[in-house]
Structure 1
């Protein structure tokens, strides 16, 4: 596959930062949150409240630091052998010739989400959207994250090709989970995204996890009113 380095986008959006919630932008008049929050939401919604509404800052875990380092290394290597192209050019060209891109940004004002796809394969007959994760377990939260990337891509392009969402073991070629982005999957991820928007606008409460194992390993536990020491 040809390697395309996405350098820009033909469409520009009216964007400003949310006055009260860190990380949320207002794009085309609607709240827009990072797709990566869906991973947090599936783990514990209250983390989103503590980090982005209360503004609590914590030190990054070794796993987070290691993951960021690998991402940067792979992106640097990729750019050395890739051809610059706009997002729109890459999508159009892939209808004839297969290509791949890394750190591809997607923005959907329609659904109020945005984020960077770790890797995307654009083939004449299908689009494969890949998110790299440590380990080989397809958690519901990580599946939702990559499903939202697929939704944002579809929203931006109206692409009629088959879209697939995949999770890959970080640092390997092992796609340990993959699914077709069906209308049923699309309906489910839209429901989850709307729930997050409800959390942000105050129409729904943040529900903390009831899993004590998650609480014990949470980097926000010292700030969390729901954490119960054993």
Structure 2
């Protein structure tokens, strides 16, 4: 499998006037796909971090994840050859390719992000998101489904697309599914909810799970968590 470093196209954008990290691309709010993982855990975190601007230190788990991620990236770059997104798509129809940190975007759906790893083979495309554990949560599933959606919109490729979750730093793929029309409808529903939050049409909902609140890094500054105590 050939390692390919995809050179991604830059999009012009404007900063959102009040929400950090939201970009306005082609006239539409565009948010990072990684927020879907956060939203599935507790979407009120997004409100605290990006709308109220509350900053908290990185946890040990976050720092470890960054270190492992950087190590994998350095190893990949040792043998990766640069190519455009379109070139890799064409090459992979004849021989399998592997790429890391592939930027994907869907201006129509208002999402963008970097995929940890993609395997493109002549018969299928597998989109992999690395996670610290080995359990597939609805939040992590939503994140990888959104990556699949953005990749599908960018590539217009007819090969089956599969989304997968892998235990970070290992070869253990502990969850995989084909990204079909039903999965696409489900993730579009969640993406549309996110946009309704940013537009002020719906309120940010805090988790009702006190165990999540106890381990949340926003615990001390979240008025919602105090309700559960």
What are the Cα deviations for residues 112-163 of structure 1, in whole angstroms up to 9, with x where unaligned? 0000100000111100000000111000000000000000000111111100
CA displacement at 1:82 relative to structure 2: 1.0
CA displacement at 1:15 relative to structure 2: 1.1
Match of 1:112 among 107, 110, 113: 110
Partner in structure 2 of residue 2 of structure 1 = 2
CA displacement at 1:110 relative to structure 2: 1.1
Unaligned runs of 5+ in 1: none
Unaligned runs of 5+ in 2: none
> 1:153, 1:160 → 2: CA distance?
12
> 2:210, 2:136 → 1: CA distance?
20
2:8·2:103 contact (CA, 8 Å) conserved in 1?
no
TM-score, length basis structure 1: 0.97
Match of 2:39 among 41, 44, 52: 41
What are the Cα deviations for residues 51-78 of structure 1, in whole angstroms up to 9, with x where unaligned? 0000100001010111011111111110
> 2:97, 2:225 → 1: CA distance?
47
CA displacement at 1:220 relative to structure 2: 0.6
Q: After the TM superposition, list the runs of 4 or more consecutive aligned residues in structure 1 that deviate by more than 2 angstroms.
A: none
TM-score, length basis structure 2: 0.97
Partner in structure 2 of residue 217 of structure 1 = 215
> 2:128, 2:101 → 1: CA distance?
10
Partner in structure 2 of residue 96 of structure 1 = 94
* RMSD between aligned residues: 1.0
Partner in structure 2 of residue 84 of structure 1 = 82
Aligned length: 228
> 2:122, 2:14 → 1: CA distance?
36
> 1:211, 1:71 → 2: CA distance?
30
> 1:65, 1:19 → 2: CA distance?
30
CA displacement at 1:14 relative to structure 2: 2.6
> 2:193, 2:200 → 1: CA distance?
11
Matched, 1:194 2:192: yes
